[in-house]
Every structure is written in structure tokens, then in C-alpha cells.
Amino acid sequence: MQSGLTIIPAVDIQHGQAVQLVQGVSSSQQVFGDPLEMARRWQMAGASWLHLVDLDAAFATGDNRVPIADIVATTAMRVELTGGIRDDDSLERALSTGCARINIGTAAITNPDWCDRVIAQLGDQVAIALDVRDELLATHGWVEAASDLWSTIRRLNRAGVRRLVVTDTQVDGTMTGPNIDLLSRVCRATDAAVVASGGVSTLADIEALRPLLADGLEGVIIGTALYVEAFSLAQAMAAGTP
């Protein structure tokens, strides 16, 4: 068991701007400006990892390759890149940024054979994003609901998945607290490391996640709460340490 939760700030990019969405709805964005400046802000605050989301790629409305490349090239943080990675071409483009890890979401459902092959090839360099809505997995930028969560986890376990990033889409961006029960059940259903995402609004929310360290919870991705300064990154790191 690791000593504490890894706190991972999120930078979501849409139309070249850092934004935060409510429940993944494209039209709900709050705009926070230059994504590179946001990334530098979290690096200066002490972040070792950055969760970088290309929302335009996720919604299939374009991409943000230029700001993504700038962030990876000019910051020292390890970058976890997600959004629109669904085939060999998009995978190659993502890896060419120099990111430390890529997340596969929709393709884990719609193209399972390809996803399982990528897991075998990349090992710890790939995580699978499980975007959950009522125990179904949401795809294509969360606008569609498809496969059963638990059968998908069983398949990913057989494929040798190393890490799952779990988002309850109904609490993401709402600052109403994480879905502890869902995260606990996912941790018990896999030997992969689990990263929580969505809903964290207070330091108490982070503290409530700490008992799951014993079950395999590795870290937590935080977006809106950091942007609106509900607490600082330093405070979040302290809350994640027993």
C-alpha cells in the first residue's frame, strides 16, 4: 500500500482554452484561460502528475494538439493524456507528445480487441478510463451509455490492465462529493490500481477516500475545486496523506 493518495490536477482543454465542465456537458464549460498557464500553476504548486484532457478530440469536434504539445514539452510534470484515443493513428499521435501515460475510454467499449492489444503492448503506460453512469459505461464524450461496468472490468482484468481511472459522470464537475461506494466496489473487483475522478469539493472528501488506499486506490484527479480555490493543492496533498 502506498503512503498516500497522489493528487492529480486536471487541465481540460476545449477550443484551446482551459475549461471545466459539469457532468461532461460540452455547453456547461467554465473558462479558465490559457491551459499552459494553468499547467504551470499546478507545477509550481507541487504537482508531480497532470491529467490533461483534449475535450475536442473526445467530442470528435477537432483537437488541441498545439497546446498539448506545449504543456508536455515545457513542464516537468508527468502527463496523463486522454481524449479521443480510439485507434492506432490517434494512439501514435498521443504517444508522440511524450506523455507519460495515455487513457483509453470509448475504445475500451467500442473496440475491445484493439484496447486489449494496447494494454498488452504498453503495460503501465496505458490506463483505462471507466466513465460510469448508473453502472453503465458512458462513451463518446459521455453522450452515449453502453456496456455494463462489471463485465467490462472482468474483461480488462483478463487483458492484464494495470490502472483504471473511474469517474461517476453524474457527480463530475458538480462538487457534490465522490461516489465512495462505487470506488470501493471497483477496487474490490480488480487488482489494477484505481484512480478516482469527479465530485471532490472539500478536503473532507479527500480524507474520506484515504481508507480505500488499502484496497488499491492510488490517486484522485481534481479539477473544479482547485480552479475555484475551494482548497489549495498543498492542502489536498496533506489531506490525502494518512
The catalytic site residues sit at: 12, 131
**Residues present in the chain in total:** 242
- Cα 61–Cα 65–Cα 67 angle in degrees, nearest 5: 110
Buried b (16+ CB within 10 A) or exposed e, 27-40: eebeebeebbebbe
Q: Which of 180, 158, 159, 162 lies closest to 171, judged by CA?
A: 180
- Rounded Cα distance between 86 and 93, Å, is 11
Residue 132, phi-psi category: left (phi > 0), alpha (psi -120 to 50), beta (remainder): beta
How many CB atoms are located within 10 Å of the residue 96 CB? Answer: 11
Distance between CA atoms of 58 and 83, rounded to whole angstroms? 4
